[in-house]
């Protein structure tokens, strides 16, 4: 898919004063979904539409969800407030966008040197993360659900090769969430913006480099047309969870079976989205290298280690935050990462390293 197929200039809609009562006809409830993405953007834009359709289908048509892409009702970064305030019933976005609400929110999406996609679910379901997720978002009148994951992200697109931390200092770089705070700790000039805006900023020179998601989505946005050096690993986001936030009052008004429909639609989509990303990232990377002249480069170990120190500083600030809920979220994350991380050395990490050696990757 080409950039022009899904990136369309559009006026930013003006939010309504308040969400009207859902339209009900013949026991049909109609919900409005707003998203942080251009319509049909490979990856999150497609996943958002799939979630809207899945809720509608699983409910037998009793709960109809109509999707509005970024800019149609509210701008992409305005979807959290739209649902919190009642302008829309639910949104599709990522927790990494809501750090201005609370730093604790950022841990539910991705963490520097943090959890993989499957480990993220493990923390939420088995490690007490969901209760903390509910408590934090409950402050804003939102019921949250994880509903997908991009898998490991990349460190991003660079015009020039980088060899040391000194090469990164002062660099104008696009990132989000805790990854942006980690990069700022080592002196990068981090900027937050949408994926399409990142393309324009790279093109104009307003950015020197940036990361968005991974090969599949990134290639659709065209970053490789400007910057050919593609760096891994994406240590800032070992995975990045996508979420659905539902207006809590609207959710509470649902019957128990429709509440289960919403929850099931979200949880059932997680693996579908994650495995689609992983599969299509792999195929897209092959094409980028073979047909577009992209050079895949590994971050030097010296940079990784310095980033690790910076990440420790960022997580340490959360553990010492003045908000006791943020402290509890951070402590829960650190404890789960410690436990699962030590085990994975022998389990998944060991298996994957052995496979790579035998197959010569």
Residue 164: how many other CB atoms lie within 10 Å: 11
Helices (H) and strands (E) in the chain, counts: 14, 12
d(CA 327, CA 330): 5
Question: Token pair of 195, please?
Answer: 């994926």
Omega before 233 within 30 of 0, i.e. cis:
yes
Q: Which residue, 74, 62, 52, is CA-closest to 28? A: 62
Write out pLDDT tens, residues 147-188: 999 999 999 999 999 999 999 999 999 999 999 999 999 999
Please check if 211 is assigned to a binding site: yes
d(CA 131, CA 336): 14
Per-residue confidence band for 26, with pLDDT thresholds at 50, 70 and 90? low
Report residue 326 CA to chain centroid gap.
19
Instruction: List the beta bridge partners of residue 158.
Output: 209, 229
Q: Is the pLDDT of residue 281 over 60?
A: yes
Is 55 in contact with 258 (CB distance < 8 Å)?
no
Whose structure tokens read 């809920």?
A: 325
Please check if 72 is assigned to a binding site: no
**Average pLDDT, stretch 2-20?**
40
Residue 338: how many other CB atoms lie within 10 Å: 10
The hierarchical CATH code for the domain 16-149+238-279 is 3.40.190.170
Q: Do domains 16-149+238-279 and 156-237+294-359 have the same CATH topology?
A: yes
Please check if 174 is assigned to a binding site: yes
Instruction: List the beta bridge partners of residue 361.
Output: none
Whose structure tokens read 């499957």?
A: 118
Question: Token pair of 296, please?
Answer: 């895949």
Write out pLDDT tens, residues 252-262: 999 999 999 99
Q: Is the pLDDT of residue 2 over 50?
A: no
Sequence-distant (6+) residues with CB within 8 A of 98 are: 80, 105, 106
Which CA distances in Å does 6 have to 3, 193, 248?
6, 17, 31
Q: What is the DSSP string of 328-339?
A: HHHHHHHHHHHH
pTM of the model: 0.91
Please check if 319 is assigned to a binding site: no
The hierarchical CATH code for the domain 156-237+294-359 is 3.40.190.10
**pLDDT of amino acid 143:** 98
Please check if 225 is assigned to a binding site: no
Sequence-distant (6+) residues with CB within 8 A of 106 are: 95, 96, 98, 99, 177, 178
Whose structure tokens read 């990134």?
A: 218
Q: Is the pLDDT of residue 11 over 90?
A: no
Is 315 in contact with 334 (CB distance < 8 Å)?
yes
Could you give the 3-state DSSP secondary structure of residue 127?
coil
**Average pLDDT, stretch 104-108?**
98
**pLDDT of amino acid 22:** 54
- What are the extents of the domains in the chain? 16-149+238-279, 156-237+294-359
Q: Quote the mean pLDDT of the chain.
A: 94
Which CA distances in Å does 130 have to 104, 221, 250, 252, 360?
13, 33, 20, 17, 40
Q: Which residue, 97, 233, 92, 37, is CA-closest to 153? A: 233
Q: Which residue, 331, 327, 332, is CA-closest to 103? A: 327
């Amino acid at each position: 898919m080409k950039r022009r197929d899904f990136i369309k200039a559009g006026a930013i809609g003006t939010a309504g004063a308040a969400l009207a009562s859902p339209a009900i006809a013949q026991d049909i409830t109609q919900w409005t979904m707003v998203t942080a993405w251009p319509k049909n953007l490979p990856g999150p834009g497609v996943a958002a539409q799939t979630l809207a359709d899945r809720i509608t289908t699983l409910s037998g048509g009793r709960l109809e969800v109509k999707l509005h892409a970024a800019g149609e009702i509210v701008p992409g970064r305005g979807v959290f407030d739209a649902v919190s305030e009642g302008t829309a019933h639910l949104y599709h976005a990522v927790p990494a966008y809501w750090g201005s609400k609370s730093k604790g929110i950022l841990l539910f999406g991705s963490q520097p040197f943090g959890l993989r996609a499957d480990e993220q679910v493990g923390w939420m379901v088995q490690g007490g993360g969901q209760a903390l997720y509910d408590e934090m978002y409950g402050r804003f009148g939102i019921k949250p659900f994880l509903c997908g994951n991009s898998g490991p992200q990349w460190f991003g697109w660079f015009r020039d090769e980088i060899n040391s931390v000194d090469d990164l200092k002062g660099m104008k770089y696009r990132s989000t969430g805790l990854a942006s705070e980690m990069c700022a700790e080592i002196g990068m000039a981090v900027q937050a913006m949408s994926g399409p805006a990142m393309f324009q900023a790279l093109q104009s020179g307003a950015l020197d480099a940036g990361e968005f998601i991974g090969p599949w989505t990134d290639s659709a946005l065209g970053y490789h047309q400007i910057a050919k050096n593609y760096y891994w690993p994406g240590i800032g986001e070992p995975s990045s969870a996508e979420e659905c936030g539902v207006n809590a009052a609207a959710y509470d008004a649902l019957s128990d079976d429709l509440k289960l429909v919403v929850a099931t639609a979200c949880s059932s989509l997680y693996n579908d989205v994650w495995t689609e990303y992983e599969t299509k990232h792999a195929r897209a990377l092959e094409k980028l290298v073979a047909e577009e002249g992209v050079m895949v480069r590994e971050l030097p170990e010296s940079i990784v280690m310095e980033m690790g120190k910076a990440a420790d500083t960022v997580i340490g600030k959360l553990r010492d935050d003045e908000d006791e809920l943020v402290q509890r979220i951070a402590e829960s994350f650190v404890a789960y990462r410690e436990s699962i991380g030590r085990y994975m050395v022998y389990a998944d990490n060991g298996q994957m390293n052995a496979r790579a050696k035998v197959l010569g990757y």
